[in-house]
Amino acid sequence: MTSRRILTRLAGAVTPDPARPWAVDFIEDAAIASEGGRIAWIGPRRELPAAWRDAPEVDGGGRWAAPGFVDPHTHLLFGGDRSREFNRRLHGETYAQIAEGGGGIRETVRATRSATVEELVALGEARLAKYRAKGVVHLEVKTGYGLELEAESRLLEAYAALRARGWSLDVTLMPAHDIPAEYLGRPDAYIEDVASAWQPELVRRHPGVARFCDVFVERGVFTPEQGRRVLESGKALGLRPRIHADEFCSTGGAELAAEVGAASADHLMFASEAGIRAMAAAGVVPTLLPATTLFLGMKDYAPARAMIQAGCRIALASDFNPGSCACIDPLLVLRLGCLQMRLTFEEAFTAMTLHAALSLDRPDLGHLHPGAQDRVLLWDVKHPLDLVYWMGEAYQPAPAFHG
C-alpha cells in the first residue's frame, strides 16, 4: 500500500509559515500532498505538481484543513477532584483559607499519592481522548502532584505507559511544584533534596521519559535562587528548563528563564519589562495561559502585545489542572487569546500551533509546510475565522489522515 496521498476537495487550508514570522497563509481550494507521514507539498489545487496527479486522493469534504493544535503546558495526571472547592471559592472562601483547612493542592497530592499507575493511566487516557476530540495532537505533560519520590516516579511510569500506547507527549519533570506538608517551613531542604537526589534518581529510573524540568518560582512557593538550583540540576541531567514564572507578582522568573536558557517561561501575567526583553534576547518562548486568568477570576492577562513588540514568539496553552484551570478546550484558549489578550486571529492561531511546538523543540509540528508531520485537521467552517467569531460553537474537527 502506498504512503503517498493527496488531500483534496478542500474549501482551503490555513497554516502558519515557519519561514515568515507571524505569517499565516489562507489557501483557498487547496491540496496537500503527504508521503510517509510527512507533508510533501501544499498549495492551490490547480498548481498540484504533475508527479502527484496519480496519487490516491483523500476527500476533504469541502472543509478547511489546518495543523492540529499543540498544548505546551498541561498538568495531565492527578488524582481526585476539586469541584467542591471551586464552589467554596464562589461562596467567598479564599484559596488561602481552603489551603489552611487542608484543601487546595494538598487535596490533589493526597489523591495522587494514593493512585496506582494503572489508575493514573486510565485517567490520562480519558483526558487525552477529550483533547484529541477537540483537535490537540500533541501535549506537554508534567509531574508535580506527587511531591514525594515514589509518587513522582509513578507519574513518570504512567506517562511512559501512555506514550507506549501511542499518545503524543513530551514529559516535564516537576517535583518542585509546591512545598509538600513534610517540608513545610523548610523550602531550602526540599529544593536540595529535589535537585541533588530526586531528579537524578527519577532520571535514572525512567531513562528517556522526561525531556524537560520545571519549577514554580512565585511568592510563597520558591525563590529565583531556589528555582535556579532545580533547573541547573535538571540541565546537568540533560533536561531542558521550563519555568512557572511571574503569575501573581513579578518575582524575576522571566529573567531567570533567560539566564538558564529555558525553552519557555509560563504564566507571566506580571512579567517585568526587563524580563520580557531578556526572554526575547534569549529566545525563550513565553507560554501564556489565559484560561487560568479566567478561571481564577483575575483581571490581569499576560501582556501578550508587549511581548510580541519586544520580539518574543509567544505560545498559548491550556494549563489544564484541578485547582486553577479545569479546561480541556483549545477553542476557548484561542478565543481568550483574541478577545482578552487582543491578539489577531493569525497571532493566536500561530501561538497555539507553530509557536507552541517551538516551545517544545518540535519544528515538525504546528504547520503544514513540507517536512511537517501530516497531522492535519478538517474543520467544517466557512472560514477559519469562524472558530473565534462563533463564540459558543463547539466545533469538532476530523483527522484528514488515519494511520
Strands 136-142 and 69-71, sheet pairing: parallel
Spatial neighbors of 198 by CB under 8 A, at least 6 apart, are: 149, 152, 175
383 is in an annotated binding site: no
Spatial neighbors of 138 by CB under 8 A, at least 6 apart, are: 68, 70, 71, 168, 169, 170, 357, 360, 362, 365, 375
Q: Residue count of the chain, please give it.
A: 403
Spatial neighbors of 25 by CB under 8 A, at least 6 apart, are: 13, 14, 15, 16, 17
177 is in an annotated binding site: yes
182 is in an annotated binding site: no
Q: For 198-217, b where at least 16 C-beta lie within 10 A, e where not — what string?
A: bbeebbeebeebbbbbbbbb
82 is in an annotated binding site: yes
Does residue 26 contact residue 77 with C-beta atoms inside 8 Å? no
Q: In the structure grid, which three cell numbers stand for residue 366, read together? A: 504546528
Nearest to 140 by CA among 364, 362, 396: 362
75 is in an annotated binding site: yes
146 is in an annotated binding site: no
> Could you please report the per-residue DSSP string of 8-54?
ES-SEEEEE-TTSTT-EEEEETEEEEEETTEEEEEEEGGG--GGGTT
259 is in an annotated binding site: no
Q: Which residues sit in the known binding site for 4-imidazolone-5-propanoate?
A: 82, 145, 177, 247, 324
Q: Which residues sit in the known binding site for Fe(3+)?
A: 73, 75, 244, 319
Q: Which residues sit in the known binding site for Zn(2+)?
A: 73, 75, 244, 319
Q: Which residues sit in the known binding site for N-formimidoyl-L-glutamate?
A: 145, 321, 323
Q: Which residues sit in the known binding site?
A: 73, 75, 82, 145, 177, 244, 247, 319, 321, 323-324
